[in-house]
Structure 1
Amino acid sequence: MVDAFQMAQRPAKQRTGLFFFLIVVFFAFGWQIGQIDLVSFFTKAGDAGPALMRVLWPWQRAISYPEELSVSSAKILSPCGETPYPENVWEDKDRPFLKVNPTCGVPSEQDGEPGTTLTLTGEGFAPGEEGEVWWRDPIGNEFRQRQAGDYVKVMPDADGKFSVEIIFPYRLLPRGAGEKAQEWTIEVRQLAAVGDPEPSVELKLAIEKIIETIFIGMMATLFGIVLALPISFLAARNLMSGSRFSLAVYYITRTILNIIRSIEPLIWAIIAVIVVGLGPFAGILALTLHSLASLAKLYSEAIESIDHGPIEAIQATGANWLQTIMYAVVPQVIPPFVSFTIYRWDINIRMSTIIGFVGGGGIGFLLAQWIRLLDYSAAGIAVWFIAITVAILDYVSAEIRNRFV
C-alpha cells in the first residue's frame, strides 16, 4: 500500500515541479522584457524628491498676493564729458531710490575690453523681493543686464537696501551713435507682493475644472443609463431566445456592445475630439459610449440571472413580451441596476479626471498642461482636488448603496 501511495504521488509532484519551473521561466523573461533595474530605481529615486514634495504639498501656490511693479532708474553718460555728470537725487522718499557710481563710463566692446565697472546701490525697495536689472540704450532699446552668462539680479536686505557691482554692458548702436556723449538708463524692476492674500489663478482654475469634471461624469452616466436600459433587454438571452429573429438580435447587440466596450474611453475621447473639437462635450461623448456598453452588459447579465418563476406566471395569464418585462423582470432587477449604476457613476467620475489628457475637458486638461510645463506645485493642486473629489464621491456612493440596494 505504501508503494502504491508513493507511485500515486509522483505525477502530482512532477506537475507541481513543472508548474514552478514555468513560473520561474516566465518571471525571468518578464524581468528581461520589462527592463527592470532595481539599482537604478533605488539610486535615482531621490531625484524625484523635490518634485514629489511640491505635488504632495502645493498649497503655497494656492494663495497669491496682489503684486505691484516698482521701477527705479538712474542716468549714465557715455562717454564721460568734461564736467562730472550729476548724481541721482532721492527726492521722493516714498519711492525706491537708485544710485550709480561713477555716473559716466564706457560700454564693453564686442570681443574686446570690458566696460566701466559700476557700483549700483538702492534704497527703499521691498525687503527680500528679487529685482531685475534692465538697461535702455540711447536709441530706446531695452535689454536685461547679463554678467558671466546669467541675468544680474539684486536682493534688498531687511532695510530695503542693496549694493552690487556690474560692468557697463555691450550694445550695438547705429553708425555714429557712439561718437558723442549720450545718456544710458539703468533700471531696477521689482515685482513686490502688496495687499491681502487671495486665491491664486491656479486654485481658481482647479476649482472651475473639478466642477466641470464632476458634471462630465454625471452627464455621461445619465446618458449611459438612458441608452443602456432598453438595449440591456435586447442583450438578455433569456428574453431574446424565443425565435430565430430575436436570437439574431441578441447576438448582434452583444457583438456591438463588446466592440464598443473593448475600446478604452481615452480612444473614444480622441475620436470625439476630432468630431466635436476640444472641450467637455468630447469627454461626455466618450464616457457615454463606454458607459452604454458597460451598463448594458451588466444590466443584461442581471436580467439573465433573475428567477423565472414570476416570468412563467405572468406569461400564463396571456401577457405579451412588454408586459412580461414590466411586471416580472423589472421588479427583480431594480436592486442590481441601482448597484451597477452607482458603480458606473463612480468609474465615470474617476475617468473624467484623466479624459482631459487627450482634450476631453475637465481638470485632466489642466493637469496635463502643468505636468508638461514641469509646474509640479500647480499639478499638485489638481491632484489634491482629484483625490478629494474621488473620496467624497466614494462616501456618497456607499451611502446611496446602503439605502437603496
Structure 2
Amino acid sequence: MRALIAGAGRLGLQIADALGGSGYELTIVERDDERIAELERRLPGRLVSGDACEPAVLEDAGARVTDLLVATTGEDEDNLVISLLAKRQFGVSRVAARVNDPDNAWLFDDRWGVDIAMPVAAPLISLIEASGTAEGRMRPAAAAQQGQRPVRETPLDPCGSVRAALGGGSQAAQAGGDRSAEPGGRHETPDHARTAAGGHADPRTACHAVWGPANRTSMSSGGRAAAPACVPPPGLAPALREAMSAPVGGQLALRVLVTAASKHGATAEIAERIAAALRSALPAAEVDVQVPSKVTTLERYDAVVLGSAVYAGRWLDSARNLAVKHSAELARVPVWLFSSGPVGDPPKPDEDPVDAAPLVVATGARQHAVFAGKLERHHLRFAERVVATALRAPSGDFRDWAAIDAWASRIVQELQKV
C-alpha cells in the first residue's frame, strides 16, 4: 500500500510515523527545503520538495499510483486544492484533509474530493457541523422522530453507539444527560456557505440527538461527553485511524520555536536558556531553536518565543522582520516576546524598546519581557565602542538568569493549558 502525505508539520509526522510503522510505502511532499533536509535522516520513505498544490509536484510524488493521500498543511485552502487534485485529476481512492479553521469545516466534503475531514484543532461541534448525517457516520437518534425526551433516555441504534450532540436553530451543543431532544428542527447552511455554493441553500435536518461510533466520544456517569476524538470512517487504513483518533488537544506533542536575533551571542544564550527550560519542564514537547533569518515558515509550530538584542532602543532587523512578515501566523498561536540589551545599574530602562509595542500588537503576543544584557567591549566594532563610550555604558554581564528562568516557567504554565 502506498501513502502520500502533503505537509511535513506536526500532524504530518504523526501520521507518517503511524503509516510507516504499519508497512506503508511513504512519500512526503514538503515545500520547505530546510525542513526536508532536517527530516531526511528521520523519516522512512521518499521526500519530495515542492508545493503539493501544483499538479506537476503531485505527479512527481506518485499521486497516480497512491492508495491514500493525506493533506496536512497549515492552510485550509491548500488542503482543499490538494484534495481536489488528488481525487479528480489523479483518482486517489482515499483522501483525508486537515481542517485548520473550524469555520471552514463545511467545505471539506466530497465536492472537494475529501473523504474524511480531520478537524485537528476543532471541538466536537465543528466535526458534527462538517459531517452532518452523511454516509451513516452520524445519524439522528430515535428521539428526533419520537418526541421530546431526556438524552440519557434516548434509545441508541445501533449497539456500540453513544450520544454525541444536540442541535437547535443554527447551533449544536454537547449532549448532556438532562438535555432534551426535540423533533422538527432544521439546521440551515450559513449564508457564506450558501453564497459559495452558488446561492443554493443546503438545509440539513438538525441532529438533535446524534449517535456516532462509541470511540468518537466517551460518556461519564452523568451523561456528559468527554473530550472528543477525531475518528475517521471504517474504510480508512487502521494506522491512519490510530493517528487521527487522539483526543483534540491531547496526545499530539507541542512543537515550540524559540528564536532570537543576537549580535554578539548574549541574546542567543538567553534563547538557549529558555529553550532548555521548556524542554526540561515539557519533555514531550519538541522545542526548536533557530535564528530569525533562517525561519521561513511558522506553519508547523504551536507556540513561538521571539526575542532580539536591542541597539539604540530598537530590535535587530531580522527579528523585527520576522514578526512583521509572519504576523498573521503568529497571531494564530501563543507568542511571547523578549528584549535584551540594557546594561548598567539598574540595568533595565524606564521604557521598552521603541518598536516593542507595535510588535506586541502585530503578533498578539501574550507578554513582552525586557531582560538586562551583556556588554564586552572587546567584542564590539570600533563604531560600537564609540557609542558605548559616549553613553557611558559599563562593561559586564548584567543578565538576571533567575528572572529569565522565572519567565520561562510562566511560559511553561501557559503551554500546559494549550
Q: TM-score, normalised by structure 2?
A: 0.20
Structure of higher RCO (CA pairs closer than 8 Å, 6+ residues apart): 1
Flag the structure with higher strand content.
2
Instruction: Report the structure number with the largest CA radius of gyration.
Output: 1
